[in-house]
């Protein structure tokens, strides 16, 4: 029985559908085709109500926003009630939509046999449906950003949150999450001091501290923390093992690869590794020289080439999935990072034909969206 279906159009090429407590994802398909196939495969009856929610690609961009930036900063509370803001290429999003786009969506729903009850933009949901907790108002850097969240009960399945270090791009969602959900939070005792200065609403009883290098358990998962080199107070990486010994490692925001790190990563079935920058792009970038040195230094980040070296070591030891994370928006691209790792694995195959690389999945984790959920078996 389908009471109501929510269609969340992140872009024209990415559509999420929430129905019967399931979240379905469709890519590179027209909405009309998605709805028609869905109706047939799920045996949905005629005139089932559909609510369509539109994300920022459906808004028009204004070219000149210099005058508006001051207005926005002074009237943020008012604007949040009327505008959907997102910091994207230093431009704010105008909410006036093209009527043609709206009509196309209405026609697609009607032709597929669904009853379109409403088309909402994200800012409508915040103030009309906020009690349903479908949305959050987040802080992104120094800018308040209103983002749509598909209601997903999977959050209740999360036992704990592990913090690697205190930099804002790694903890900025912590404040809102702590406000909404009662979760245990693990971090080193030194990191806790820094985080407590930045996030003021964490329940003290929920914080569990340890020393870098300690091992601990959460449910059936055995976790090892490992000290790494980065310009934070006490940064760590994590390795996870289930009861069958399957291993997952998360290794980002790090300036150098040591023998102990290689030993720690050995045997990981799934590994998240940093591929922050492409060296030539970084050298030619507009970054000041001190920042370039910091990024390439011992306490900075890993390049694509260094990630490629790590990928080869992981492949030698049975890795099944290599996930590339923390890509710089300014000095890297998903395509370059992916090709670098792919080429390094091909070189490895040429050097040693016995190593199997065909079944290794390489994937770049996007900056602007949540990653998939990975399960080891």
- All structural domains of the chain, each given as residue ranges with its CATH number in brackets, are 5-148 (no CATH), 156-364 (3.60.15.10)
pLDDT at 269 over 80: yes
Q: What is the DSSP track for 60-107?
A: PBPS--HHHHHHHHHSHHHHHHH-----BTTBPBP-PPPHHHHHHHHH
Percent of the chain exceeding pLDDT 90 equals 40
> Residue 334 in contact with residue 294, Cβ under 8 Å?
no
Tokens of 363: 């994937």
pLDDT above 60 for 73: no
Report the alpha-carbon distance of residue 258 to residue 260 in Å, rounded.
5
Residues in the chain, total: 377
Q: Give me the mean pLDDT over the 165-178 stretch.
A: 80
* Arithmetic mean of pLDDT, 153-176: 80
The pTM of the whole model exceeds 0.75: no
Q: What is the C-alpha separation between 202 and 191, in angstroms, rounded?
A: 14
138 pLDDT band (50/70/90 cuts)? Answer: very low
- For residue 43, the Cα-to-chain-centroid distance in whole angstroms is 33
Task: Kindly tell me if the per-residue pLDDT of 20 is higher than 80.
Answer: no
């Amino acid at each position: 029985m389908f009471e109501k279906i929510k269609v969340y159009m992140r872009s024209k090429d990415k559509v999420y559908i929430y129905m019967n407590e399931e979240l379905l994802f469709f890519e590179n398909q027209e909405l009309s085709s998605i709805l028609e196939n869905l109706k047939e495969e799920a045996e949905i009856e005629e005139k089932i109500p559909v609510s369509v929610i539109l994300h920022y690609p459906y808004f028009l961009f204004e070219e000149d926003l210099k005058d508006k930036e001051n207005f926005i900063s002074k009237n943020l509370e008012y604007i949040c009630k009327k505008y959907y803001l997102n910091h994207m290429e230093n431009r704010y999003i105008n909410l006036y939509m093209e009527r043609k786009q709206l009509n196309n969506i209405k026609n697609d729903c009607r032709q597929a046999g669904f009853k379109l009850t409403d088309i909402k933009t994200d800012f409508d949901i915040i103030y009309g449906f906020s009690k349903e907790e479908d949305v959050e108002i987040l802080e992104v850097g120094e800018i308040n950003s209103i983002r749509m969240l598909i209601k997903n009960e999977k959050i209740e399945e999360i036992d704990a949150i592990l913090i690697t270090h205190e930099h804002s791009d790694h903890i900025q969602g912590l404040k809102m999450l702590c406000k909404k959900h009662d979760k245990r939070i693990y971090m080193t005792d030194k990191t806790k001091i820094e985080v407590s200065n930045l996030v003021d609403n964490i329940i003290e009883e929920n914080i569990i501290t340890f020393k870098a290098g300690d091992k601990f358990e959460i449910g059936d998962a055995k976790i090892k923390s490992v000290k790494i080199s980065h310009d934070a107070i006490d940064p760590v990486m994590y390795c996870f093992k289930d009861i069958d010994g399957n291993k997952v490692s998360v290794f980002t925001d790090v300036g150098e690869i040591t023998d102990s790190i290689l030993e720690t990563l050995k045997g990981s079935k799934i590994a998240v590794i940093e591929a922050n920058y492409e060296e030539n792009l970084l050298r030619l970038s507009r970054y000041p020289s001190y920042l370039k040195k910091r990024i390439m230094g011992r306490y900075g980040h890993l390049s694509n080439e260094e990630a490629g070296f790590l990928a080869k070591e992981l492949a030698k030891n049975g890795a099944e999935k290599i996930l590339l994370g923390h890509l710089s928006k300014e000095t890297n691209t998903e395509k370059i990072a992916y090709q670098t790792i792919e080429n390094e694995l091909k070189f490895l195959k040429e050097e040693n034909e016995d190593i199997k690389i065909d079944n290794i999945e390489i994937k770049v984790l996007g900056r602007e969206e949540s990653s998939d959920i990975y399960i080891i078996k």
